[in-house]
């Protein structure tokens, strides 16, 4: 126990020493005076957010600068995006999906809430009201290809999904809380943390093998591959973690009440923390590649009702950090082996590859095998003390020819 306490102290000491103020990126205001914005999400070139006043869901195209008002039936709570699709909870306690490429809005499931999406899968939980029994509790997996809903756990909890992994927090037999994982491929469920916390883990997110969450006002992360849990923050009232590749973003300060609050970023590979905003009124961050979006009521500080949506771009660095890479092939039949080579500039000290099929790598020049047919978006994120940059490319894999 003494060694464990010492190790935690060393980790916290290092994290405090590595907090820096963001100076390499640029901040731009995308929209202004959104009413009571509670959640943001970003994927690719699209930014999404909800308004509690009016119960609206909106989208903003970073390429064209065009805004789309999607719907007026949001509950103003969570939303999550993947590819050209965004999911949210409606004011009638149902899960909806909008496809930005087709303009189609779809009711996924009634009596469900708190959805997350990855690829062709959506996960969510049942509606629950205080005083009800828990007989109908469940975490559900919805397949967009088959339109089938599967109950994967008999608990009421807020799930998150990445690739074929679904995670959630669940009370154990000792009335404490742990994090569980369901593998879609094997249909097996297992416990991945044994914190035995009396305070339930909340606000879970997952990317690759890294799970992040809020517990007792601090941010934690767990590496599924190494079975290692790391405390990211300490004694700072941190909330709303979101993860993409090598970056975890979160709010320091209670986003649901008055008081100061700002956005921070933690780089996993370097164990480095950077303060992104200093407005003291920023919250609800999300991250994709080298872009962070968040809500901020700096222009309406007295009541914080009119909230602007901001984008912080880490790619605009002062040290000419540029991500780039090549592959020995860009298409072929499955199984397809691709050798990737980092060709970027600017002296990065960390590499994070997302191969688009649920697998990741921290190698500088990895080799990856695509087992199934499909079009995969490869994302390389490089970083150093001055910032990050990302590069995207597409790998096309065809079905193996059969004689």
Is the Cα torsion angle 143, 149, 155, 157 positive or negative in sign? positive
Q: Is the pLDDT of residue 18 over 90?
A: no
Name the burial class of residue 36, with classes exposed (0-12), middle (13-18) and buried (19+) by CB atoms within 10 angstroms of its CB. Answer: middle
Structure tokens at 174: 């000792």
**Model confidence over 325-378: pLDDT tens digits?**
999 999 999 999 999 999 998 888 899 999 999 899 999 999 999 999 999 999
pLDDT, mean over the chain: 86
Residue 175: what pLDDT?
A: 79
* Close Cβ partners of 295 (under 8 Å, ≥ 6 residues apart): 34, 37, 38, 40, 49, 282, 283, 284, 307, 308, 309, 310
**How far is 117 from 163, CA to CA, in rounded Å?**
10
Quote the CA–CA distance of 87 and 91 in Å, as a whole number: 13
Confidence bin at 223 (pLDDT 50/70/90): very high
Lowest-pLDDT range of 83-92, 188-197, 276-285? 188-197
Count CA atoms within 13 Å of residue 326 on its CB side.
2
pLDDT band per the 50, 70, 90 thresholds, residue 12: very low
Please compute the mean of the pLDDT values over residues 180-191 and round it to a whole number. 96
Asked if the model's pLDDT at residue 161 lies above 60, the reply is: yes
Q: How confident is the model at residue 214 (pLDDT cuts 50, 70, 90)?
A: very high
On the question of pLDDT at 8 being above 50, the answer is: no
Q: Of 26-40, 262-276, 292-306, which has the strongest mean pLDDT?
A: 262-276
* Widest distance between CA atoms in the chain: 71
Phi, then psi, of 210 in degrees rounded to 5: -105, 125
pLDDT for res 41: 96
Q: What pLDDT score was predicted for residue 127?
A: 78
Question: Pick the residue with more confidence: 136 or 125?
Answer: 125
Give the single-character DSSP code of 193: -
Predicted confidence (pLDDT) at residue 196 exceeds the cutoff of 80: no
42, 60 contact by CB (below 8 A): no
pLDDT at position 131: 56
Q: What does the pLDDT average to over 207-223?
A: 95
Per the model's pLDDT, the better-predicted residue between 296 and 128 turns out to be 296
Residue 321 has pLDDT above 90, yes or no: no
Q: What percent of the chain has pLDDT over 70?
A: 86
152-157 mean pLDDT: 92
Q: In the prediction, which pLDDT does 5 show?
A: 38
Instruction: Categorize the per-residue pLDDT at 403 as very low, low, confident or very high, splitting at 50, 70 and 90.
Output: low
Tell me: the pLDDT tens digits for 25-61? 889 999 887 766 778 999 999 999 988 765 688 999 9
Give tens-digit pLDDT for 71-102. Answer: 766 555 679 999 999 999 987 789 999 999 99
* Predicted pLDDT at 13: 36
What confidence score (pLDDT) does residue 74 get?
Answer: 57
Q: Tell me if 2-313 shares its fold with 325-398.
A: no
Give percent above pLDDT 90 in the chain: 63
Q: What is the mean pLDDT of residues 268-279?
A: 91
Tell me the C-alpha distance between 293 and 305, whole Å.
18
Q: In this structure, what token pair is assigned to residue 122?
A: 């959506």
Q: Which two tokens stand for residue 46?
A: 């699209």
Domain 2-313: which topology? Neuraminidase (2.120.10)
Residue-level pLDDT at 338: 97
Domain limits of the chain? 2-313, 325-398
CATH class of 325-398: mainly beta
Count Cα atoms within 13 angstroms, Cβ side, for 380. 24
- Given this model, what pLDDT does residue 303 score? 67
d(CA 260, CA 293): 18
Evaluate if residue 197 carries a pLDDT over 70: no
């Amino acid at each position: 126990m003494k060694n464990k306490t010492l190790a935690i102290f060393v980790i916290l000491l290092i994290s405090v020493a590595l907090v820096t103020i963001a100076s390499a990126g640029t901040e731009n205001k995308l929209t202004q005076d959104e009413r009571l914005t509670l959640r943001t999400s970003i994927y690719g070139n699209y930014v999404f957010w909800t308004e509690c006043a009016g119960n609206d869901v909106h989208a903003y195209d970073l390429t064209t600068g065009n805004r789309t008002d999607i719907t007026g039936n949001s509950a103003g709570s969570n939303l999550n995006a993947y590819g050209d699709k965004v999911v949210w909870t409606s004011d009638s306690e149902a899960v909806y999906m909008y496809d930005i490429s087709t303009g189609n809005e779809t009711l996924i499931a009634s009596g469900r809430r708190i959805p997350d999406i990855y690829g062709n899968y959506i996960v969510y939980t049942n509606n629950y009201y205080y005083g009800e029994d828990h007989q109908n509790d469940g975490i559900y997996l919805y397949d967009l290809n088959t339109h089938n809903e599967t109950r994967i756990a008999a608990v009421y909890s807020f799930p998150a999904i990445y690739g074929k992994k679904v995670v959630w927090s669940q009370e154990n037999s000792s009335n404490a809380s742990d994090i569980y994982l369901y593998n879609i491929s094997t249909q097996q469920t297992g416990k991945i943390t044994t914190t035995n916390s009396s305070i339930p883990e909340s606000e879970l997110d997952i990317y690759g093998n890294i799970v992040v969450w809020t517990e007792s006002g601090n941010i934690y992360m767990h590496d599924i591959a190494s079975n290692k849990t790391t405390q990211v923050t300490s004694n700072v009232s941190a909330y709303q973690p979101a993860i993409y590749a090598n970056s975890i973003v979160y709010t320091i300060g209670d986003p649901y009440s008055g008081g100061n609050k700002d956005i921070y970023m933690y780089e996993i590979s370097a164990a480095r923390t950077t303060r992104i905003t200093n407005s003291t009124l920023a919250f609800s961050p999300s991250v994709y590649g080298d872009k962070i979006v968040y809500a901020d009521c700096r222009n309406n500080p007295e009541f914080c009702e009119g909230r602007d949506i901001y984008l912080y771009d880490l790619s605009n660095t002062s040290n000419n950090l540029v991500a780039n890479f090549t592959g020995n092939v860009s298409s072929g039949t499955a199984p397809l082996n691709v050798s990737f080579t980092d060709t970027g500039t600017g002296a990065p000290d960390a590499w994070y590859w997302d191969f688009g099929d649920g697998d990741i790598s921290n190698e500088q020049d990895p080799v990856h095998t695509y087992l199934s047919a499909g079009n995969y978006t490869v994302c390389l994120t490089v970083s150093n003390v001055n910032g990050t940059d990302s590069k995207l490319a597409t790998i096309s894999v065809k079905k193996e020819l059969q004689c």
